[in-house]
Structure 1
Amino acid sequence: MTLEPRNRIEILKAIKKLVLANHINVAGVDYDIWAKHLDERTPELLNADLASFEAGIRQLLTELKTSHTVFYHSLSKELLPQHTINASLKDVPQDGCRRWMFLDVFEDGPAHKAGIKPGDILEAVDGEDYAPPTTPHFVIGQIHTLLVRKPRSDIGSEITIAVPIRKGTKQRPPIVEPKSPIHQMVGHGIGLLRIVYFPGAFGLSFANALDDAVDDLKRRGCDRVILDLRGNMGGSLGFVRLASYMCAGRLPIGHSLTPTRLRSGYDPDALPRVPMPSTRAELLLTLARFAVRDKSVMLLTQGLGPQPFQNRIVILVNEWTNSAAEMVANFAAENRLATIVGQKTRGNVLGAANFRVGSGYWLRLPVFGWFTSKGHTLEGTGVEPDVRLEISVEALAEGADNQLNKGIEIASAL
């Protein structure tokens, strides 16, 4: 693929215009300095090879100091493993060196279907060795051959993974969406809800699926629940339904801010208090209400009423718990609705949209800020667990999950 200078100029102009018009500046970046830097780099980017052109734009975007800020092609080769093969990686020591270990392997995803399990060690991809800090990338619509071995084993085996073709939209990049939610009973009266993604633009279908899962757990005698948000990729407003099951009434989860409201200043108590719509009709009414006004709001839970597991909830998180899942975890922490177990979350908590910038390229840009009900930002800070517990590589090698086991122990005592 080649990219003519005129196409590059079109892309750079579009990026500059979109950033200045839509970017939520939670880091207080000086846009004049950033725009000047972009202009200074333009001659170099026009004459660079394609890989250097893409890398140069990504470097400029890092100067905005926000998550959810990505430059990618519709046939991207730069997506994270969880977005393509539905598995996250962790840097671990192995035999005196660093290796990538599969950490979260999402059920029914490409990695899971290929037989990969948490704790497996990745040695190579398509014949090329990979070790931290170099992250392997898997390409949408392609087949990859991985060399994988079990912990404590010197013998590797080749595994073929087929990454499905996916197209991006204004709501999401071209990612492979994992199955979510997944539920089961894991002990007497203890239900497990594993949620690795909140799919859909507004989360209505996810909310229906979550309702079915919760109803099934309650029919099976669930009066305690473990919410496994480890590896969660974020997603849509479906997270509000999950938060709503944690309390009986309508509580504030947090507030979103547009760039305009952030610049002009605001009083959180004066923001419109909006419960997440439960039906398509309510959604249409809400969209109409904010069609021609600022969309900064205080988001409320839906008031689903008492549940048998309320005040007996454990949430599992790790370093790959992102975005909407962090909003859920923080809501639980601020209102003391659950015990949080695991590792500090990612700290990627902004609302984003995707914009076409020309020649098949897209810009993913944060367009809403998110602040907790108490006015704190999670961007760059994340959520600290109540019980900090690192995943045990040794336990995974034996097919055990020490974080889940700790969650079951805590839930049993509630």
Structure 2
Amino acid sequence: MTMIPIGLNERTEVFDKVADLTAKRLFAPGFNRADWIAAVESHRDRILKCETVEEFEGAVRDLLAELKISHVVFFHQSLQKIASNYAIGATFQPCQVNGTVRWMFQDVHDGSPPALAGIRPGDLLLDIDGQPIFPPEKPAFRMGGFCQIGVEKLSGEQVRVPLGVPLPKSKWHPINRPRLVSWSKPARGIGYLKAAGFPGQVGMDVAREIDRAISELHDCDRLIVDLRGNPGGGAGGLRLMSYLTPDKIPVGYSLSKKRAEKGYDKEKLPRFGKIPSRKIELFGLAFRYAFADKSIVMVTEGLGPQPFHGRIVLVVNQHTASAAETITGFARENKLATIVGTRTAGQVLGGTGFKVGHGFVLRIPVMTFYTWNGNCLEGKGVEPDHIIELSRDALRQGRDTQTDKACAAIGGF
């Protein structure tokens, strides 16, 4: 990897903007502005000594990580190191193998670079371009190029795998999306729907895909919804929530810092309860929300009864976040589904991005989400009804312990 130099004046300018924007604009439960300012000053000298983009980026990220707040991201638009769930559509979990802790591929979404390269859940990541990697160092990948990764397959065979990592459509929000929605019928009367993400602020495309999946599963009276490894996104998740209930039900509300400081009545906040079906309808949405405070109530669309209502299982894990986590919390709060897997990520804030100069971007949360009953899932997540870990031993036998439990639970309805 070529190291990109960055001068002291540029480093100082970027660092000061990051410090100032975070102090003034970040809005999240538990954020203490005075503690942040103190942390900035204690780390300043060390961070400003970093003479390359890569070192500087890493040092600022380390500082921001001390906040322990979701949706805080700092990166350079050369995209040298992007987290695996965004760069390659895959997640990892630590796994002990022969006395050594390794990273195990956990969620490998359909259409993602690892899936296309033949990698499957349960395979182990040994190295990236010859550099061994072990927990707690998290795998990260350069977008817009190729790398060679060392992989130990479930069979025990160790192989070298070339991995192409495409450039994202936007360097402003660098995410490579795998196949967003897939579905199948694993048994008579049982539908399986997997949602890998909800890209786009409004979510029209993913809403259409969810509609198509539900149409294909019209003869199923039981439904498994797999949200494992889903990092969330925009409002497209509302369509999936709307298929969990026949009625129009408040999901929850997002609050801006300004609205929270002024005080509010959740019943009087503006409501969003319909994903547009045509692009021309976006103009109305833009006119309605462009200049108004962004605090809103989300309400399901009232799509009517489905044969699987009352017989739904959600499968989640520690990588189920943001909009996917909102769905899980909504289902739990309204008793619309049985939840199987592991506790969700606890990352439900709404973020926005700021260009801070010299190719760097800072994304920080500016909205906080609450369920309709006033619960904030940030830092807490949703605990499943049935806690089931993903087992590598079971994967080696061709079984997924979490979907096995989902099938058992749905068979009991």
TM-score w.r.t. length of structure 2 = 0.93
Q: CA 1:312/1:274 → structure 2, altered by over 3 Å: closer, same or farther?
A: same
Q: How does 1:227-238 map to 2 (within 5 A)?
A: 227-238=225-236
Q: Which runs of 5+ in 2 are unaligned?
A: none
Q: Is the 8 A contact 1:276 1:299 kept in 2?
A: no
Q: CA 1:37/1:92 → structure 2, altered by over 3 Å: closer, same or farther?
A: closer
The one-letter amino acid paired with 1:397 is R
What is the match of residue 60 of structure 1? 63
Q: How does 1:304-319 map to 2 (within 5 A)?
A: 304-319=303-318
Indicate the SS of the match to 2:347.
coil
Q: Is the 8 A contact 1:187 1:408 kept in 2?
A: no
Q: CA 1:290/1:143 → structure 2, altered by over 3 Å: closer, same or farther?
A: closer
Q: Is the 8 A contact 2:388 2:402 kept in 1?
A: yes
Q: Alignment partner for residue 161 of structure 2, among 159, 162, 185?
A: 159
What is the match of residue 298 of structure 1? 297
Q: Is the 8 A contact 1:346 1:380 kept in 2?
A: yes
Q: Is the 8 A contact 1:130 1:136 kept in 2?
A: yes
What is the match of residue 180 of structure 2? 180
What is the match of residue 284 of structure 2? 285
What is the match of residue 40 of structure 2? 38
Q: Which moved more, 1:395-404 or 1:78-87?
A: 78-87
Q: Which moved more, 1:78-87 or 1:373-382?
A: 78-87
Cα deviation, residue 25, structure 1: 3.0
Distance in 2 of aligned mates of 1:37 and 1:96:
37
Indicate the SS of the match to 1:241.
helix
Cα deviation, residue 273, structure 1: 3.2
Q: CA 1:158/1:62 → structure 2, altered by over 3 Å: closer, same or farther?
A: closer
Indicate the SS of the match to 2:366.
strand
What is the match of residue 388 of structure 2? 389
Cα deviation, residue 18, structure 1: 2.5
Cα deviation, residue 347, structure 1: 0.7
Q: Which moved more, 1:83-92 or 1:228-237?
A: 83-92
Cα deviation, residue 40, structure 1: 5.5
Indicate the SS of the match to 1:347.
coil
Distance in 1 of aligned mates of 2:14 and 2:261:
27
The one-letter amino acid paired with 2:139 is P
Q: Which runs of 5+ in 1 are unaligned?
A: none
Q: Deviations over 1:87-119 (max 9, x none)?
A: 111101111121111111111110001110111
Distance in 1 of aligned mates of 2:9 and 2:391:
52
What is the match of residue 109 of structure 2? 106
Q: Is the 8 A contact 1:150 1:397 kept in 2?
A: no
Q: How does 1:111-260 map to 2 (within 5 A)?
A: 111-151=114-154, 153=156, 155-168=157-170, 170=172, 173-218=173-218, 221-260=219-258
Q: Alignment partner for residue 72 of structure 2, among 66, 69, 73?
A: 69
Distance in 2 of aligned mates of 1:4 and 1:242:
48
Distance in 1 of aligned mates of 2:349 and 2:171:
18
Cα deviation, residue 384, structure 1: 0.5
Cα deviation, residue 44, structure 1: 4.1
Cα deviation, residue 162, structure 1: 0.9
Q: CA 1:353/1:216 → structure 2, altered by over 3 Å: closer, same or farther?
A: same
Cα deviation, residue 234, structure 1: 1.0
What is the match of residue 25 of structure 1? 28
Distance in 2 of aligned mates of 1:63 and 1:308:
47
Distance in 1 of aligned mates of 2:370 and 2:298:
10
Q: Deviations over 1:252-276 (max 9, x none)?
A: 1110011112233333233233313
Query: How many residues are matched?
Result: 408
Q: Which moved more, 1:120-129 or 1:94-103?
A: 120-129
Distance in 2 of aligned mates of 1:54 and 1:212:
42
Indicate the SS of the match to 1:75.
coil
Q: CA 1:41/1:123 → structure 2, altered by over 3 Å: closer, same or farther?
A: closer
What is the match of residue 95 of structure 1? 98
What is the match of residue 48 of structure 1? 50
The one-letter amino acid paired with 1:38 is V
Cα deviation, residue 277, structure 1: 3.2
Q: CA 1:358/1:62 → structure 2, altered by over 3 Å: closer, same or farther?
A: same
Indicate the SS of the match to 2:140.
coil
Q: Which moved more, 1:140-149 or 1:323-332?
A: 140-149
Q: CA 1:307/1:278 → structure 2, altered by over 3 Å: closer, same or farther?
A: farther
Distance in 2 of aligned mates of 1:158 and 1:44:
37
Q: Which moved more, 1:266-275 or 1:222-231?
A: 266-275
Distance in 2 of aligned mates of 1:189 and 1:18:
52
Distance in 2 of aligned mates of 1:267 and 1:407:
39
Q: CA 1:200/1:363 → structure 2, altered by over 3 Å: closer, same or farther?
A: same
Q: Which moved more, 1:128-137 or 1:113-122?
A: 128-137
Percent of matched pairs sharing the same residue: 38
Indicate the SS of the match to 1:151.
coil
What is the match of residue 269 of structure 1? 267
Give the aligned CA root-mean-square deviation in angstroms.
1.8
Cα deviation, residue 14, structure 1: 2.5
The one-letter amino acid paired with 2:74 is F
Indicate the SS of the match to 1:235.
coil
Q: Which moved more, 1:314-323 or 1:255-264?
A: 255-264
Distance in 1 of aligned mates of 2:99 and 2:38:
46
